[in-house]
């Protein structure tokens, strides 16, 4: 049933994205959490729904880039567009090499996986940057989180696991219907950011609405913790600190610090038993109880093998791409090194550096909510590049690069619709909150 709903919803979202992108991009975010539950189900022939959607979106976005009204500057206003075009061009080159070296399907798979970065960068800044668009985006992220957050909470409360995967010391991770912990974790974090965006765009001054948002955000945070992900727990802590400090929420920061101190004093042992053991080997390595190779779930051995494989390649393949698929690298930089060679890795790293500099400049001008959210999303990306391959996850890229591009374009002084524009049906206009998004 989930697969059928996901397939029908995907078709509707893709058609709407092609014909009415302002609504299509929202439907895309809403349906994606269901699409990712079909990771083990083939749709047409040997192709999965996840593969079909991940290939269709970049194609539609490239078409929209040619057809969208240039008066709204969807392409010209794209932050760091030349870096993105350079990176995407190199993706085409090394994916083509994989097509000839391994198979056409492998190369096409890699091509569309990486092109979703450009697609994600384009979508939100093109269709959601005005006042109504930001409100609709906030609500879409909240709706998108309903399935992963509530199934995650049900799993935590009942102890029933739809799929069993293990973390540190044999602990069963709560991953819902998904393939691994990263999926449910990033959907929970996406929901949490949706809560933040909703507080500044949809009239969070209402007591009932504010209470619901806080409860929803806490639920999403619990789901992140239930996935027992080192990166997820780290990102959650950094996000909370960044939002409170950069937005100068000193009262909330003081309350959070006090609550943390009390929890550590009275429930420290229970917290370490419930969550702290996830970092047991990392903490043990600092005290000489474990070796460095035992930390980070033993990924050091995998990374060493990949580096050795790469070093044995001919010079041309080390420079321009191995022609081999490296989706299991568990490190984004090593993945890009294998896929695109030294040249590809250099382009990718320079792209990330350009994004980091742009975000820093945006925050220096004004720590607006969108600028802070862009920084938060980028931090999450950097954390995950160390132990995962986020540039291979299409939905993840739509979210991260969408938020980053949206924050950078707004911070760059691009003119947007007035906050006085009538709100979406059922929403109270809240000019002061929306003004905070940009100022």
Per-residue DSSP letter, 292: G
Task: Give which of 119, 135, 102, 103 is closest to 62, Cα–Cα.
Answer: 119
Q: Where are the beta strands (DSSP E) in 167-285?
A: 172-173
Q: What residues pair up with 165 in beta bridges, in sequence order?
A: 173
Buried b / exposed e along 375-386 (16+ C-beta atoms within 10 A): bbbbbbbebbbe
- Percent of the chain having pLDDT more than 90? 60
> What's the token pair of residue 372?
């802070």
CA dihedral (316, 318, 321, 324) positive or negative: positive
Q: What is the DSSP code string of 14-57?
A: HHHHHH-HHHHHHHHHHHHHHHGGGTT-EEETTEEHHHHHHHHH
pLDDT at 416 exceeding the cut of 50: no
Collapsing DSSP states into helix, strand and coil, what is residue 173? strand
What confidence tier does 119 reach under pLDDT thresholds 50, 70, 90?
A: very high
103 sits in the region (left: phi over 0; alpha: psi -120 to 50; else beta) called: beta
This prediction's pTM: 0.87
> What's the token pair of residue 340?
């695109």
Do the Cβ atoms of 330 and 338 come closer than 8 Å? no
| Predicted confidence (pLDDT) per residue in 381-409, tens digit | 999 999 899 999 999 999 999 999 999 99
| Predicted confidence (pLDDT) per residue in 203-238, tens digit | 656 788 888 999 999 999 999 988 887 788 889 989
**Domain spans, the chain:** 2-438
The C-alpha angle with vertex 262 and arms to 261 and 265, in degrees rounded to 5, equals: 85
| Predicted confidence (pLDDT) per residue in 254-283, tens digit | 877 776 676 556 555 555 555 555 555 555
pLDDT at 332 exceeding the cut of 70: yes
> What's the token pair of residue 136?
């609709």
Q: Who has greater pLDDT, 321 or 295?
A: 321
Which of 148-152, 179-183, 281-285, 303-307 is predicted with the least confidence, judged by mean pLDDT? 281-285
> What's the token pair of residue 41?
């189900």
Question: Looking at residue 72, what is its pLDDT?
Answer: 79
- Type and span of the H or E element at 166: strand 165-166
- Contacts of residues 357-360 at CB distance under 8 Å and 24 or more positions apart, as own/partner, are 358/79, 358/80, 358/408, 359/404, 359/407, 359/408
Phi, psi of 358 (to 5 degrees): -65, -40
Q: What residues pair up with 42 in beta bridges, in sequence order?
A: 48
- 151 Cβ neighbours under 8 A, 6+ residues apart: 162, 176, 177
Do the Cβ atoms of 184 and 32 come closer than 8 Å? no
């Amino acid at each position: 049933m989930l697969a059928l709903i996901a397939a029908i919803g995907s078709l509707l979202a893709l058609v709407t994205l092609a014909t009415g992108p302002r609504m299509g991009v929202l439907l895309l975010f809403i349906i994606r959490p269901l699409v990712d539950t079909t990771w083990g189900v083939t749709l047409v022939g040997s192709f999965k729904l996840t593969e079909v959607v991940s290939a269709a979106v970049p194609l539609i976005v490239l078409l929209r880039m040619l057809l969208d009204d240039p008066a709204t500057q969807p392409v010209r206003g794209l932050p760091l567009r030349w870096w993105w075009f350079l990176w995407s061009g190199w993706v085409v080159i090394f994916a083509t090499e994989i097509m000839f070296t391994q198979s056409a399907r492998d190369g096409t798979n890699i091509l569309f996986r990486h092109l979703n970065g450009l697609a994600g960068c384009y979508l939100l800044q093109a269709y959601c940057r005005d006042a109504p668009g930001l409100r609709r985006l906030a609500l879409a992220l909240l709706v998108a989180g309903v399935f992963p957050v509530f199934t995650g909470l049900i799993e935590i409360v009942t102890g029933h696991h739809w799929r069993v995967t293990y973390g540190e010391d044999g602990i069963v991770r709560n991953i819902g219907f998904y393939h691994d912990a990263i999926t449910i974790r990033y959907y929970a974090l996406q929901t949490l950011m949706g809560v933040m965006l909703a507080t500044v765009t949809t009239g969070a001054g209402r007591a009932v609405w504010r209470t619901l948002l806080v409860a929803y955000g806490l639920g999403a945070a619990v789901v992140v913790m239930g996935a027992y992900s080192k990166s997820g727990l780290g990102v959650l802590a950094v996000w909370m600190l960044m939002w409170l400090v950069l937005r100068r929420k000193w009262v909330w920061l003081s309350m959070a610090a006090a609550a943390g101190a009390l929890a550590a004093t009275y429930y420290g042992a229970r917290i370490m038993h419930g969550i702290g053991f996830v970092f047991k080997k990392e903490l043990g390595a600092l005290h000489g109880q474990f070796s460095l190779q035992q930390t980070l779930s033993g990924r050091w051995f995998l990374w060493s093998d990949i580096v050795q494989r790469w070093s044995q390649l001919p010079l041309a393949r080390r420079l321009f791409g191995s022609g081999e698929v490296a989706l299991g690298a568990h490190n984004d930089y090593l993945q890009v090194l294998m896929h695109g060679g030294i040249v590809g890795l250099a382009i990718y790293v320079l792209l990330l550096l350009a994004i980091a500099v742009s975000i820093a400049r945006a925050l220096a001008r004004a720590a607006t909510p969108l600028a802070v959210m862009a920084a938060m999303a980028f931090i999450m990306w950097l954390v995950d590049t160390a132990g995962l391959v986020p540039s291979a996850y299409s939905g993840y890229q739509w979210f991260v690069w969408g938020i980053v591009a949206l924050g950078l374009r707004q911070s760059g002084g691009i003119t947007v619709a007035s906050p006085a524009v009538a709100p979406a049906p059922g929403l109270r206009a809240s000019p002061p909150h929306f003004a905070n998004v940009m100022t």
